């Protein structure tokens, strides 16, 4: 039983090898070269497990072979800090180390994206979104934070 739990933890860690998030909350996935530890051009199960174990070890701050809620929170906070720093570096146009509202405004066509999304939700095209249209869109696309199925049918 303990072996199954450990394997589940290792596999969960492997899935979590997405690493630090990139802009727009996209997770960075390890490339083939990173996973191919012996550089032979092929991935073995052992190499994948080793990567997952290494990821687990980075979260297991005290090295006791178990990950506590505090360790998970610390790892999550570290990734959040990295994402925040990257976001500031990317958007801070005036170089003052903080983001003003105008630096966070949609640019390079992002405003068009928001308009297209609004138009898709505004099913009757009247320029407003009713409760029914809102609910329909939410049901169709699901909660973006993992709380509900995404039905694209």
Give residue limits of the domains in the chain: 2-95, 106-141
d(CA 101, CA 92): 10
If you ran DSSP here, which 8-state letter would residue 21 be given?
B
Q: How far is CA 105 from CA 26, 85, 120, in A?
A: 20, 18, 21
If you ran DSSP here, which 8-state letter would residue 26 be given?
P
**Whole-model pTM?**
0.49
Q: pLDDT truncated to tens, each residue of the chain (153 aa)?
A: 554 454 444 444 444 443 433 344 445 678 899 899 999 999 999 999 998 899 899 999 999 999 999 999 999 999 999 999 999 999 999 999 999 988 887 665 555 777 888 899 999 999 999 999 999 998 988 755 555 544 444
């Amino acid at each position: 039983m303990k072996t199954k739990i450990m394997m589940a933890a290792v596999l969960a860690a492997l899935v979590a090898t997405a690493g630090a998030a990139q802009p727009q909350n996209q997770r960075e996935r390890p490339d083939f070269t990173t996973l191919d530890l012996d550089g032979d051009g092929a991935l073995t199960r052992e190499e994948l497990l080793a990567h997952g174990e290494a990821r687990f070890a980075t979260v297991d701050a005290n090295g006791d072979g178990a990950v506590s809620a505090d360790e998970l929170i610390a790892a999550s906070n570290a990734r959040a800090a990295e994402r925040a720093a990257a976001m500031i570096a990317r958007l801070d146009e005036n170089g003052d180390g903080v983001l003003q509202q105008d630096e966070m405004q949609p640019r390079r066509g992002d405003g068009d994206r928001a308009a297209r999304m609004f138009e898709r939700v505004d099913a009757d095209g009247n320029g407003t979104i009713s409760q029914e249209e809102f609910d329909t869109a939410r049901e169709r696309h699901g909660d973006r934070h993992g709380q509900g199925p995404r039905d694209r049918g």
